[in-house]
Structures are given as C-alpha cells and as structure tokens.
Amino acid sequence: MSSDQIPGYTYGTDDVPDAPISMDEFERLQQTVLFDEDDEESLQMAGDVLEDQIDDVLDVWYGFVADHDFLVYYFTDGEGNPDEEYLDRVRERFGQWIRDTCETPYDENWLNYQFEIGRRHTRERKNEADDADAVDHIDMRYLVAFIYPITATIREFLADSDHSEAEVDAMYHAWFKSIVLQVTLWSYPYVPDENW
Ligand code: HEM
C-alpha cells in the first residue's frame, strides 16, 4: 500500500500545521542527541534491513502493548473494550512511521508531522484521524518510558541481516537517537510553552 492510501496518514498535507519551532532550533536538538550525517546513513541502511520485517516488528510491539492492560487501555473506551479497528488503522501508520524514521529526510514536512504525531497522543487530536471513540489522552510518562522497549526490541531485527556487528551497532544507535529526538518533539503539547 502506498503511503497516500494509509487511512489517517496526512504527512505532507495541508492538514498538518507548521511546526512551532524553526529548523535551526530543530538542528540544535539534533546536535543535543549527537545525531549527524553518519546517523542518517545508518538509518537508510536500517530502512533496507527493516523493510521486509515491518510486520514482525509490529507484532512484537503490539504484543507488548497487549500484554499490559494499562497500555491497551489507550485503545479502549475506558471500560475494557478495545477498539479493534482503531488498533488496525494505527498499526498501518506505525509501519509507515518506521519507514519515515529511517528513509525520509528530516526536513520541514518531517518536522511538521512530528508535532502532529505528538498531538495525536493527546486531547488535542487523539482519535480524530480514525474517528475512534477511545479514551482521549495518553499520559506522557508512558511515551517517555516507551523509548526503551521501542529501542531495545529493534536490535534483533537489525542484526538479522548480513551487516557487520559495527554496522548493526551504528544502526541501533542512530535508531535510539531518532526515537529520543522524536519523543522529545512529541512532548510539546504536554508541556506549557514557557517550560518546553
Ligand atoms: C499513534 C508511535 C507511545 C498509543 C502512534 C503513531 C505512531 C506512534 C507512529 C501513529 C502516528 C500517525 O498517526 O501517523 C509511538 C512511539 C511511542 C509511542 C514511537 C513511544 C516511543 C505510545 C504509548 C501509547 C501509544 C505509550 C499507549 C499505549 C498510541 C495510540 C495512537 C498512537 C492510541 C493513535 C493516536 C490517534 O488517535 O491518532 N504512535 N507511540 N503510543 N499511539 Fe503511539
């Protein structure tokens, strides 16, 4: 499925407001997580390695969520009923996000969409893209805590390739930096402006 057919995926469209920070500020954040051109190259390599494994990666992450009621909660109506259609639709965008993390240039469109993903985890826009009736907000502490499983679990998939240990390590660290960078951007709607 090409990305413009993914339900609710609005990357690069007018539906996505401009980022509230400049590209200069974004570059400062990149420098803060030590993200550089070598990481961009390593992520391209990771994109190639992960392309055929995206479903397996998503099985691991969705399995992790499914194993914890307090995480599944965010896909439910708040009374214990998961919304299967919502889970499926988000899963497709999650797959595309792996591609966008690895292969898409981190330009203005990419930056704008980061803030959109952030909003979609909060009262500002959660449920809107899928017209879902689930609880309306994901508590920020779980976004931050999720950095570890989303990072640690990717390593075995990166290693399942004919790349050297040093290359796997470089891909893994580039991935880790990108996830920290992205969750930092996603924290924006959670934090009062003067504190962010
Ligand atoms: C949406 C990634 C944390 C629940 C999404 C999307 C991505 C994503 C890529 C789809 C974005 C789009 O619409 O294009 C991540 C990552 C996380 C994280 C990388 C942390 C490192 C969490 C946590 C939960 C969660 C802790 C709680 C279980 C959801 C839900 C949606 C969503 C319910 C759908 C939001 C909507 O209504 O549009 N996430 N997420 N996410 N995520 Fe997360």
What is the full DSSP assignment across 128-170? GGGT--S-S---HHHHHHTHHHHHHTTHHHHHSSS--HHHHHH
154 within 8 A of 42, measured Cβ to Cβ: no
pLDDT-derived band at 163, boundaries 50, 70, 90: very high
Q: Which atom of ligand 1 is nearest to the CA of 127?
A: 37
DSSP reduced 3-state for 9: coil
CATH number of the structural domain 43-195: 1.10.490.10
pTM above 0.80, yes or no: yes
Residue 39 burial (CB count, 10 A): 23
* Pocket (CB within 6 angstroms of ligand 1): 8-9, 65, 71, 74-75, 90, 93-94, 97, 117, 120-121, 126-127, 129-130, 132, 138, 142-143, 146-147, 150, 179, 183
pLDDT-derived band at 1, boundaries 50, 70, 90: low
Q: Which two tokens stand for residue 100?
A: 């966008």
- Complex ipTM value: 0.98
**DSSP secondary structure letter of residue 128:** G
Residue 100 clears pLDDT 90, i.e. is over it: yes
Nearest protein CA to atom 18 of ligand 1, as residue: 143
pLDDT for 47-91, tens place per residue? Answer: 999 999 999 999 999 999 999 999 999 999 999 999 999 999 999
> What pLDDT was estimated at residue 138?
98
> What pLDDT was estimated at residue 3?
81
| Measured distance CA(156)–CA(67) in Å, rounded | 20
* Mutation pick for ligand 1 pocket among 94, 133, 179, 181 (CB with most ligand atoms within 8 Å): 94
| Measured distance CA(155)–CA(20) in Å, rounded | 33
To the nearest whole percent, how much of the chain has pLDDT over 90?
98
Expressed in angstroms and rounded, the spacing between residue 126 Cα and the centre of ligand 1 is 9
